[in-house]
Amino acid sequence: MKAFIVGIGGVTNGGKTTLANKLLKILPDCSLISQDNYFKPEAEVATDERGFKRFDVLEALEMETMMSDVLSWITQHKEAEPLKALQENCEKSVHFLIIEGFLLYNYKPLDDMFDRRYFLTVPYEECKKRRSTRVYDPPDPPGYFDGHVWPMYIKHKEEMDKLQREIVFLDGTKTKEEILYYVNSEIKRVALHGTS
């Protein structure tokens, strides 16, 4: 079986978890790893000079644990490809791993794992509006979006853009169905036939 690792990165409230969960249901053989599950306990997360918890940085995440989970998935799914699956060259012969999260491509060991990288964007106003409807644990304190979340997003996006890896940008203001249709078709095509 062939292992194919897909990154669904992007801005907060860009629709990463929504898209990843839908792909998990549609793709015939698919696992999901969500970066949201690797936050350190609040007490271990640093606080900035204005009193904001620095959640939106790599240091707030257990990245080594996340990497070891990715590597163990790879080990489990790397077994020799059965001849029949090879001959059929069908999507059933591919194991997909979706990794979704807001800081996937700024951590080199993880960035190196991806066969295909997607990145959901939404403009500032839409992002702020969507975020204001959500209740996080811990909840965003007043001013958190403008004081921490958005500036960290811009900083990480600039760092990511400098790396010049191949990243497919997705307009997160399109409908959930449009985004799903596009990514689902593209993943299957690229997994079976490559990008050429």
Q: Around Cβ 1, how many Cβ atoms within 10 Å?
A: 16
Instruction: Rule CB under 6 A: say whether 12 interacts with ligand ATP.
Output: yes
Q: Around Cβ 85, how many Cβ atoms within 10 Å?
A: 14
* Closer Cβ to Mg ion, 7 or 77, answer by number: 7
* Among residues 1, 17, 67, 111, the one that binds Mg ion under rule CB under 5 A: 17
Q: Length of the chain in residues, anyone?
A: 196
Q: Output the smallest distance, CB 16 to Mg ion, in A.
A: 5
* Site of tokens 């807001």: 102
Q: Which stretch binds ligand ATP (CB under 6 A): 25-33, 67-75, 79-87, 170-178?
A: 170-178
Q: Output the smallest distance, CB 1 to ligand ATP, in A.
A: 28
Instruction: Rule CB under 6 A: say whether 87 interacts with ligand ATP.
Output: no
Q: Output the smallest distance, CB 133 to Mg ion, in A.
A: 14
27-64 CB burial, b ≥16 within 10 A, e <16: beebbbbbbeebeeeeeebeeeeeebbebbbeebbbbe
Active site amino acids: 36
* Residues at the site binding ligand ATP, with contacts judged by CB under 6 A: 12-18, 36, 102, 130, 172, 174-176, 179
